[in-house]
Amino acid sequence: MKYDVIVIGSGPGGYVTAIRASQLGFKTAVIEKESLGGICLNWGCIPTKALLKSAQVYDYLKHVDDYGLKAEAIDKDFEAVIKRSRGVAQGMSKGIEFLMKKNKIDVIMGTGKVKPGKKVDVTDADGKVTEYDADHIIIATGARSRELPNLPQDGKKVIGYRQAMSLPEQPKKMIVVGSGAIGVEFAHFYNSMGTDVTIVEFMPNVVPVEDEDVSKAFLNSLKKSGIKVMLNSAVESVDTSGEGVVATVKTAKGEEKLEADILLSAVGIKTNIENIGLEDVGIVVDKDKIIVNDFYQTNIPGYYAIGDVVPGQALAHVASAEGITCVEKIAGLHTEPIDYGNIPGCTYASPEIASVGMTEKAAKEAGYELKIGKFPFSASGKASAAGNKEGFVKVIFDAKYGEWLGCHMIGAGVTDMIAEAVLGRKLETTGHEVLKTVHPHPTMSEAVMEAVAAAYDEVIHL
């Protein structure tokens, strides 16, 4: 079978790439070894948000008196919460199946392996191997939970994010290793459900990629919610011989032993680039990533790679953008390289975190003279009415030219607000232009305008 484009992997990078390729007139096939939608739709972005929504609703119910309401016998059904999450994921996967049919994309179920001569071997569930040809082969095989030598995952007591989404019963105690987005989202969910959670973080700050002001505020929120946090600490070994797990943690004060039912390892990801034929074709790999140019062409003509398997942020929206850029370049359209300095990052714990661009520390290290503004949600009418006064918006501008260098938010719903900053930065807007853009009242988004006003000494409501 001959195609114009074959995409290996159907995650948010792969399926979006396939759809755009089909829209551009390419005869397209996508190869998937498990479920359409990949990790994001089935075991990542989508089902975790379903879990977190259940946690949010449960939290509202537990504090219903704060809203002048009364409710009795508030409780949760952990099994039903997990079941709902899985149902949401399955529905989304079926939606991708519909999109494949709608766009006349052939779905080939099996494990793909690239071969020289622009060929792909696909091994199906029965072990049968079928060869396919394509003018362009795009690798979008994604990544999985990274295992550390001292933290081997057995899938039962020491688990990754995938098992954390479908535990048969709720643990009484849980250790979460790593305080990136995955770690803190699961820590928040399980803590909300009533699990005793301890986070162990190697760095001096939680959510270490974020601005330090955001990190400090989030740490306070974690502690206020009852989550224990150990910073500058590392799990040296785990003992799973007993009923639960015992982790030996190295801290600044010496060794400490933590006991729990489950240990969740959330220390990053490992790319899925083994046994997919890269060595046979001669595709160059460095530091666990496939090396590509600005338009995702590998060193071998006709072979491309996008998403988690290439350098850059390992985020669903980045993979989608890379895939679209890749096939539009193949089609001969005028397209520009992605600006990786303007990629929004979101963490969906409570409070939410959203950011784009430089942190204050990075901007200072780059030599900029800064104008910085902060506006707390405690001064927001909408936040007060909603009972969500925690958090703030922080904006960073170049004092000389007014360039919007960075935007950092923590609070309820900020992951839906960050796009304003991303778009503003894309359009090279200045602080004064944001300040003079009328924002609706009362909304949480007013805090962006107010933070900019604070940076220019024109803030009204603070």
The torsion defined by the Cα of 214, 220, 223 and 225, in degrees rounded to 10, comes to -80
CATH number of 351-455: 3.30.390.30
Q: Does domain 2-145+270-340 have CATH number 3.40.50.450?
A: no
Pull the structure tokens for residue 153: 């995952």
**pLDDT tens-digit readout, 23-36:** 999 999 999 999 99
Three state DSSP letters for 284-344? CEECCEECCCCCCECCCCCEEECHHHCCCCCCHHHHHHHHHHHHHHHCCCCCCCCCHHHCC
Does the annotation count 136 as an active-site position? no
Q: pLDDT band for 40, please (50, 70, 90 cuts).
A: confident
pLDDT value, residue 450: 97
Among 63, 432, 441, 461, the active-site one is 441
Helix (H) or strand (E) holding 54: helix 45-62
**φ/ψ (deg, to 5) at 52:** -70, -30
Distances (CA, A) of 428 to 244, 402, 403: 54, 9, 7
The ranges assigned to domains in the chain are 2-145+270-340, 158-267, 351-455
The domains spanning 158-267 and 351-455 adopt the same CATH topology: no
436-454 average pLDDT score: 96
pLDDT for 183? 96
Whether pTM > 0.75 for this model: the answer is yes
Identify the helix (H) or strand (E) that includes residue 82. Answer: helix 78-102
**Residue 39 — very low, low, confident or very high, per pLDDT cuts 50/70/90?**
confident
What pLDDT was estimated at residue 177?
A: 97
pLDDT score of 16: 97
Average pLDDT, the chain: 96
Structure-token pair, residue 194: 């009533």
CATH number of 158-267, picked from 3.30.420.10, 3.30.470.10, 3.50.50.60, 3.40.50.300? 3.50.50.60
User: What share of the chain has pLDDT > 70, as a percent?
Assistant: 100
Single out the residue of 348, 409, 419, 413 nearest to residue 44, CA to CA. 348
pLDDT in tens, 297-330: 999 999 999 999 999 999 999 999 999 999 999 9
